[in-house]
Amino acid sequence: MAEVPATTLRSIRLLSFATFASMVTQRVCDAMLPELSRTFSASMADTAQVVSLFAVTYGVAQLWYGPLGDRFGKFRMVMLTTLACSVGSLLALVAASLPMLVVARVLVALFAAAVIPLSMAWVGDAVPYEQRQEMLAKLGLGSTFGIVGGQVVGGLFTDTLGWRWAFGFLTAVYLVVGALLWRDWRQQRARDPALAGAAAVPGPAGGFVRQSAGIVLRPWSRVVLLAAFVEGASAFGTLAIVATHLHQRLGLALSAAGAIVALFGAGGMLYMVVARALIRRLGETGLTRVGGVLFGLSFVALGYVPHWTLALPACLVAGFGFFMLHNTLQTNATQMAPEARGTGVTLFACALFLGQSVGVLVAAALLGRIGSAAVVAGGGGVLIVLALLFARAIALRDRVAYLG
């Protein structure tokens, strides 16, 4: 098997930095929700809009970034939108009211929506399928670090300098990463103008709606998109309230709760380190089944731990298991529509983050009725069921392909 070129690896690392910034932006408000509620004298349900409306906007916006990436170049669109995210982050820094903060978060979401799906799609274009899951795992280091960074940055700044400083940090990160991407894009244009998107290419025949419908009507695409929606609701939706759960149930400071939840991302980083060996040993069905069960059981335990020390291994194992499943879903998403990979992957991301928004809203609504412990444990139980069903679907797909 040929090695991935060094120039491609360098571009993947830079895209990983961009996905880091995008994921930090998604997770940075999780740990600061109680403080935002106090600052703006708002209910937790109203305050949760800084997470839920971000997720809705993020998910819907990806519908137009897929065709734009396919036409004008995926790497170029990631570079431009990364730079644009600094504007929304700056507005969040100076927000004088909760509605203004929500608007600033929505603005960032409009641009950040392009980063992760188009980065995945670019890897799909640049790397053969046999090596793609491993390269997507390398790309995933950025978003995994972002989960760690988002929880820690949000909690740490909220408990020390103030929550506004978290958005100042993000403004600087977006500017630096955008500049690095711009430099690499210029170098790509000399090596491979088509991959860099140096010139526009014709749009899809029949338009975006017909193309998207064609992807959704494929049976396997529907399975992947439905799995992404349920994963977003049960995993990311529940994750958004874990820091609040630890703060309220165990009496931890927000910074401490955020640091514990950040171990979820650390577990993901641990998976990325050993991903190559696990991919070859377990295959897609094994990764899906084992990963989902590890996540689910860890979240069931996390919901009812009597002491904060037990939350440490629970979050770590949950992150490890989740990314086993998620990495497999990502790889399948890049192959749903090879002829329009940007559109296919953005449909996947749209399903994922619409699921997250639904999960956040449902979790917030259930907090006062059944308690945070049951909400966290319930999210884990749902993901176990999803993983077992998706693993079975993969096995059936491979069997049909073999017999066919």
Q: What is the CA radius of gyration of the chain?
A: 20
| Alpha carbon distance 363, 354 (integer Å) | 14
Altogether, the residues listed in the chain come to a count of 404
pLDDT at 202: 52
pLDDT at 171: 93
Profile the chain (404 residues) by mean pLDDT over runs of 10 residues. 76 92 85 80 77 79 80 88 92 85 90 89 83 82 77 80 87 94 86 60 57 78 90 84 80 77 81 83 88 91 84 89 88 78 80 82 80 85 92 84 61
Residue 73 has what DSSP assignment?
-
Q: Mind giving me the DSSP string for 21-70?
A: HHHHHHHTTTTTHHHHHHHTT--HHHHTHHHHHHHHHHHHHHHHHHHHHH
What is the tally of structural domains in the chain?
1
pLDDT at 2: 60
Q: Is 1 a member of any domain? A: no
User: Could you count the other beta carbons within 10 Å of the beta carbon of residue 251?
Assistant: 10
pLDDT at 199: 46
Q: Is 225 a member of any domain? A: yes
pLDDT at 401: 64
Q: Is 76 a member of any domain? A: yes
pLDDT at 161: 84
Residue 161 has what DSSP assignment?
T
Nearest to 304 by CA among 378, 387, 382: 378
CB burial of 202-225 (b: ≥16 within 10 Å; e: otherwise) equals: eebeeebeebbebbeeeeebebbb
pLDDT at 60: 79
Segment 50-73, tens digit of pLDDT: 877 887 788 778 777 877 887 888
What are the residue ranges of helices labelled H in 160-192?
A: 164-191
Confirm if 176 and 52 have CB atoms less than 8 A apart: no
- Non-local CB neighbours of 286 within 8 Å, separated by 6+ positions: 391
Q: Is 95 a member of any domain? A: yes
Nearest to 189 by CA among 338, 62, 82, 79: 79
| Alpha carbon distance 314, 307 (integer Å) | 12
What does the block give as tokens for 30?
């999780």
Q: Is 185 a member of any domain? A: yes
What does the block give as tokens for 398?
């491979």
Amino acid type, 234: S
Cut 0.95: pTM above it: no
Sign of CA dihedral 38, 43, 45, 49: negative
CA dihedral 83, 346, 24, 10 (to 10 degrees): -70
The enclosing domain of 14 has a CATH number of 1.20.1250.20
Range of the domain at 313: 6-403
